Protein backbone atom coordinates (compact mmCIF):
# COMPACT_ATOMS: atom_id res chain seq x y z
CA UNK A 1 0.00 0.00 0.00
CA UNK A 2 1.32 3.45 -0.93
CA UNK A 3 0.01 6.78 0.39
CA UNK A 4 0.86 10.33 -0.72
CA UNK A 5 0.15 13.10 1.79
CA UNK A 6 0.34 16.69 0.60
CA UNK A 7 -0.58 20.05 2.08
CA UNK A 8 0.68 23.41 3.18
CA UNK A 9 3.63 24.11 5.43
CA UNK A 10 3.11 23.07 9.05
CA UNK A 11 -0.35 21.64 8.24
CA UNK A 12 0.15 18.40 10.15
CA UNK A 13 1.32 16.30 7.22
CA UNK A 14 4.10 14.61 9.16
CA UNK A 15 1.84 13.68 12.07
CA UNK A 16 -0.74 12.24 9.68
CA UNK A 17 2.02 10.38 7.82
CA UNK A 18 3.27 8.86 11.07
CA UNK A 19 -0.26 7.74 11.91
CA UNK A 20 -0.64 6.22 8.43
CA UNK A 21 2.74 4.47 8.59
CA UNK A 22 1.97 3.00 12.02
CA UNK A 23 -1.37 1.75 10.76
CA UNK A 24 0.19 0.17 7.66
CA UNK A 25 3.09 -1.36 9.57
CA UNK A 26 0.97 -2.94 12.27
CA UNK A 27 3.55 -4.79 14.35
CA UNK A 28 6.04 -4.87 11.47
CA UNK A 29 9.26 -2.98 10.87
CA UNK A 30 9.00 0.73 10.09
CA UNK A 31 11.55 3.18 8.74
CA UNK A 32 11.53 6.96 8.72
CA UNK A 33 13.41 8.13 5.63
CA UNK A 34 14.55 11.64 6.56
CA UNK A 35 15.45 13.68 3.48
CA UNK A 36 16.17 17.10 5.00
CA UNK A 37 19.81 18.10 5.09
CA UNK A 38 19.86 20.78 7.81
CA UNK A 39 21.73 23.95 6.87
CA UNK A 40 20.85 26.32 9.68
CA UNK A 41 19.35 26.59 13.15
CA UNK A 42 15.78 26.65 11.85
CA UNK A 43 16.39 23.40 9.92
CA UNK A 44 18.00 21.76 12.95
CA UNK A 45 15.06 22.82 15.15
CA UNK A 46 12.60 21.31 12.66
CA UNK A 47 14.55 18.04 12.58
CA UNK A 48 14.64 17.95 16.39
CA UNK A 49 10.88 18.53 16.55
CA UNK A 50 10.22 15.70 14.09
CA UNK A 51 12.52 13.35 16.03
CA UNK A 52 10.70 14.21 19.27
CA UNK A 53 7.29 13.79 17.61
CA UNK A 54 8.05 10.23 16.55
CA UNK A 55 9.84 9.17 19.77
CA UNK A 56 8.57 5.84 21.03
CA UNK A 57 6.84 4.96 17.75
CA UNK A 58 9.42 2.35 16.76
CA UNK A 59 10.75 4.05 13.64
CA UNK A 60 14.32 3.41 12.61
CA UNK A 61 15.64 6.56 10.94
CA UNK A 62 17.47 6.45 7.61
CA UNK A 63 18.97 9.82 6.70
CA UNK A 64 18.97 9.98 2.91
CA UNK A 65 19.08 13.52 1.56
CA UNK A 66 19.68 12.22 -1.96
CA UNK A 67 19.09 8.99 -3.89
CA UNK A 68 16.16 8.01 -1.71
CA UNK A 69 15.87 4.58 -3.33
CA UNK A 70 18.96 3.53 -1.34
CA UNK A 71 16.59 2.91 1.57
CA UNK A 72 15.60 -0.35 -0.12
CA UNK A 73 19.16 -1.68 0.14
CA UNK A 74 19.58 -0.47 3.73
CA UNK A 75 16.43 -1.97 5.20
CA UNK A 76 14.00 -4.87 5.06
CA UNK A 77 11.90 -4.17 1.96
CA UNK A 78 8.80 -5.85 3.38
CA UNK A 79 8.66 -3.01 5.93
CA UNK A 80 6.81 0.32 5.93
CA UNK A 81 8.78 3.37 4.80
CA UNK A 82 7.77 6.94 5.64
CA UNK A 83 9.58 9.34 3.28
CA UNK A 84 9.56 12.87 4.73
CA UNK A 85 9.81 14.92 2.60
CA UNK A 86 9.68 14.89 -1.18
CA UNK A 87 10.05 18.68 -1.05
CA UNK A 88 13.44 18.54 0.68
CA UNK A 89 14.57 15.65 -1.51
CA UNK A 90 13.98 17.71 -4.66
CA UNK A 91 15.99 20.66 -3.30
CA UNK A 92 18.87 18.35 -2.38
CA UNK A 93 18.85 16.71 -5.81
CA UNK A 94 18.69 20.08 -7.57
CA UNK A 95 21.77 21.30 -5.69
CA UNK A 96 23.82 18.23 -4.78
CA UNK A 97 27.07 20.13 -4.13
CA UNK A 98 26.30 23.78 -3.51
CA UNK A 99 23.05 25.70 -3.16
CA UNK A 100 24.71 28.62 -4.96
CA UNK A 101 25.42 26.61 -8.12
CA UNK A 102 23.20 26.12 -11.13
CA UNK A 103 20.23 23.84 -10.54
CA UNK A 104 20.56 20.34 -11.98
CA UNK A 105 17.90 20.12 -14.72
CA UNK A 106 17.58 16.33 -14.27
CA UNK A 107 16.80 16.48 -10.53
CA UNK A 108 13.03 15.97 -10.86
CA UNK A 109 13.52 12.99 -13.16
CA UNK A 110 15.91 11.40 -10.66
CA UNK A 111 13.47 12.04 -7.82
CA UNK A 112 10.59 10.46 -9.73
CA UNK A 113 12.67 7.41 -10.60
CA UNK A 114 13.93 6.97 -7.04
CA UNK A 115 10.57 7.54 -5.38
CA UNK A 116 8.80 5.16 -7.76
CA UNK A 117 11.42 2.52 -6.95
CA UNK A 118 10.52 2.95 -3.29
CA UNK A 119 6.79 2.79 -4.07
CA UNK A 120 7.24 -0.42 -6.07
CA UNK A 121 9.88 -2.04 -3.87
CA UNK A 122 8.65 -1.42 -0.34
CA UNK A 123 6.02 -3.39 1.52
CA UNK A 124 4.28 -0.06 2.24
CA UNK A 125 5.32 3.53 1.65
CA UNK A 126 4.02 6.88 2.86
CA UNK A 127 5.28 9.98 1.07
CA UNK A 128 5.04 13.54 2.44
CA UNK A 129 5.13 16.54 0.10
CA UNK A 130 4.38 20.25 0.37
CA UNK A 131 1.68 21.61 -1.89
CA UNK A 132 3.48 24.81 -2.87
CA UNK A 133 2.47 24.99 -6.53
CA UNK A 134 -1.20 25.92 -6.47
CA UNK A 135 -1.31 29.67 -5.92
CA UNK A 136 -1.56 32.20 -8.74
CA UNK A 137 1.51 34.25 -7.82
CA UNK A 138 4.34 34.40 -10.38
CA UNK A 139 7.74 33.88 -8.77
CA UNK A 140 11.35 34.12 -9.97
CA UNK A 141 12.62 31.53 -12.48
CA UNK A 142 14.22 29.30 -9.81
CA UNK A 143 11.04 29.13 -7.73
CA UNK A 144 8.82 28.50 -10.76
CA UNK A 145 11.09 25.65 -11.90
CA UNK A 146 11.11 24.17 -8.39
CA UNK A 147 7.30 24.39 -8.12
CA UNK A 148 6.80 22.82 -11.55
CA UNK A 149 9.25 20.02 -10.74
CA UNK A 150 7.58 19.31 -7.40
CA UNK A 151 4.16 19.21 -9.09
CA UNK A 152 5.54 16.73 -11.66
CA UNK A 153 6.91 14.52 -8.88
CA UNK A 154 3.65 14.67 -6.93
CA UNK A 155 1.60 13.73 -10.03
CA UNK A 156 3.90 10.78 -10.66
CA UNK A 157 3.63 9.66 -7.04
CA UNK A 158 -0.14 10.15 -7.00
CA UNK A 159 -0.50 7.78 -9.94
CA UNK A 160 1.62 5.16 -8.13
CA UNK A 161 -0.18 5.52 -4.79
CA UNK A 162 -3.31 3.74 -3.65
CA UNK A 163 -4.37 6.69 -1.50
CA UNK A 164 -3.74 10.42 -1.99
CA UNK A 165 -4.56 12.79 0.87
CA UNK A 166 -4.33 16.55 1.22
CA UNK A 167 -4.37 18.49 4.47
CA UNK A 168 -6.18 21.81 4.19
CA UNK A 169 -7.28 24.00 7.11
CA UNK A 170 -7.06 21.03 9.46
CA UNK A 171 -9.19 18.82 7.22
CA UNK A 172 -8.10 15.66 5.44
CA UNK A 173 -9.28 15.68 1.83
CA UNK A 174 -9.24 12.28 0.11
CA UNK A 175 -8.34 12.68 -3.57
CA UNK A 176 -7.84 8.99 -4.28
CA UNK A 177 -8.52 5.77 -2.43
CA UNK A 178 -9.81 5.60 1.11
CA UNK A 179 -8.84 7.05 4.48
CA UNK A 180 -10.50 6.43 7.79
CA UNK A 181 -9.14 8.49 10.70
pLDDT tens across 67-93, in order?
999 999 999 999 999 999 999 999 999
121 found inside a domain:
yes
Total domain count, the chain: 1
CATH of the domain at 73: 3.40.50.300
Residue 144 located in a structural domain: yes
pTM of the full structure: 0.93
181 assigned to some structural domain: no
Rounded Cα distance between 65 and 104, Å, is 15
134 domain residue, yes or no:
yes
Return the pLDDT at 101.
74
Distance (Å, whole) CA 94 – CA 88: 10
Residue-number span of the structural domain to which 56 is assigned = 2-176
pLDDT, residue 98, reads 64
d(C-alpha 157, C-alpha 120), whole Å: 11
What's the first-to-final CA gap in the chain, in angstroms?
16
In a domain, 7, yes or no: yes
Q: Tell me what pLDDT residue 167 has.
A: 94
Question: Is the separation of the CB atoms in 38 and 47 below 8 Å?
Answer: yes
Specify if 68 maps to a domain: yes
Does residue 82 belong to any structural domain of this protein? yes
| Residue 40, domain member (yes or no) | yes
How do the pLDDT tens digits run along the chain, 181 residues long? 999 999 988 888 999 999 999 999 999 999 999 999 988 899 889 889 888 888 899 999 999 999 999 999 999 999 999 999 999 999 999 988 766 678 899 999 999 999 999 999 999 999 999 998 888 889 998 899 999 999 999 999 999 999 999 999 889 999 999 998 8
pLDDT of residue 169: 84
Other Cβ atoms within 10 Å of 119 Cβ, number? 23
- Distance, CA of 60 to CA of 75 (rounded, Å): 9
Amino acid sequence: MNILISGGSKSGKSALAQQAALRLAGGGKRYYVATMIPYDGEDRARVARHVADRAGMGFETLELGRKVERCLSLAATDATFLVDSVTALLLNEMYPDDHGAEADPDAAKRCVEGLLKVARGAGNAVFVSDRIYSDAIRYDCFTEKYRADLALIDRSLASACDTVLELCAGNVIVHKGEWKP
